[in-house]
Amino acid sequence: MAHVTFLEAIRQALFEEMERDPAVVCLGEDIGVYGGAFKVTAGLLERFGWERVIDTPISETAIVGAAVGMSYLGLRPVAEMQFMDFIACCFNQITNFAAKSYYRWGAPVPIVIRGPSGGGVHGGPFHSQNPEMYFVHTPGLKVVYPATPYDAKGLLKSAIRDNNPVLFFEHKFLYRRIKEEIPADDYTVPLGQAKVRREGRDLTLVTYAAMVHTCLEAAEQLAQEGIEVELIDLRTLLPLDRETILQSLRKTNKLLVVHEDTKTGGIAGEIAALVCENAFEDLDGPILRVTALDTPVPYSPPLEERFLPNVHDVVRAARELARY
């Protein structure tokens, strides 16, 4: 077992998969000599050389287009977005080529598009977004957003081995703040399976990514008040682990969904619909959401703190729901 940061767990996954499979290659802006903007790919170039660690022009469209082409030729590219905000530049390549390729003509696209996302670091509106829901709406993709070093490593290894295009979001606030013991041996975490982080009886709280840690802190505070929260970490947003959510809801009869993404069109609405369609009779209260505000991500630290959900917001919503 090794005690590693979230960032180091991702780097280990890349090293191990490149060692295991010579078809795995990495490409992106400044990932070689510089080692990546956050140093996630530091050391890869020295170990695997220029043919497998490729510095690209500053063109996200070209990066993803090249990755798709490489996958047609038998490679398994891992493409880095320097910031996931700029994945918007290659939206067409992802949604109209990578996502639909197998459906249209039977050609799998085993690529991973990974990079830093999320706020809390005062990066402003172009370097702090959570754009995952643009892609959760796209059939043919898989969308992953881990919360712990163990899951980050295991899910990335599964994503690289998957024959579908996978978008792998890494919350930058967690990179060097979260540490965990992870096995030295090879392991994977299956895509599409949520994890119950905390057992509870009074309400189900569904979340993912950095909000897992916010919600765990809130759950500890609520437990002191006699409110026991069952906390589910989605880990994968597409495909969504519906059964774990419904199973928990049938036990607690109340649902709170928390995410850092903005409210309108966020996955909380989709989960609410899922529960209303499949477990309405089990509900003993309204489905509540705690999310970011429907604005761009502010640069100003006080404004960003107001924009992002926090422990107080989660505790307040949970108390309201528990009273029903």
The full set of domain ranges for the chain reads 2-182, 195-322
pLDDT at 122: 94
> For 106-144, how does the pLDDT look when each residue is reduced to its tens digit (9 = 90+)?
999 999 999 999 999 999 999 999 999 999 999 999 999
User: Do the domains 195-322 and 2-182 match in fold?
Assistant: yes
Task: Annotate 37-70 with b (16+ C-beta within 10 A) or e (fewer).
Answer: bbebbeebbeebeeebbbebeeebeebbbbbbeb
Instruction: Of 213, 135, 124, give the one whose Cα is nearest residue 167.
Output: 135
pLDDT at 38: 96
Range 197-220 average pLDDT: 98
Confidence of residue 44 (pLDDT cuts 50, 70, 90): very high
Asked whether the bond before 301 is cis by omega within 30 degrees of 0, the reply is: no
Question: What band does 2 get if pLDDT is binned at 50, 70 and 90?
Answer: confident
Is 122 one of the catalytic residues? no
290 has which bridge partners? 258
Question: In the beta sheet, which residues pair with residue 121?
Answer: none
DSSP state, residue 88: G
Q: Is 1 a residue whose pLDDT tops 80?
A: no
Angle at 284 between CA 278 and CA 289, to 5 degrees: 75
pTM higher than the cut 0.75? yes
CATH of domain 2-182: 3.40.50.970
Instruction: Considering the candidates 122, 127, 171, 312, report the single residue annotated as catalytic.
Output: 127
Query: What average pLDDT does the structure give for the chain?
Result: 97
Q: Give pLDDT, residue 130.
A: 97
Digit-coded pLDDT (tens) for 210-245: 999 999 999 999 999 999 999 999 999 999 999 999
Query: CB under 8 Å to 216, separation ≥6 — which residues?
Result: 197, 198, 231
Residue 183 reports pLDDT greater than 90: yes
The pLDDT tens digits for 282-306 are 999 999 999 999 999 999 999 999 9
Mean pLDDT of 155-178: 97
Q: Which fold has domain 195-322?
A: Rossmann fold (3.40.50)
Q: Kindly state the average pLDDT of the residues 190-211.
A: 98
Q: What is the pLDDT of residues 55-69, one digit of tens each?
A: 999 999 999 999 999
- 243-253 pLDDT, tens digit per residue, is 999 999 999 99
Overall average pLDDT of the 17-42 stretch: 97
Burial class (CB in 10 A: 0-12, 13-18, 19+), 228: middle
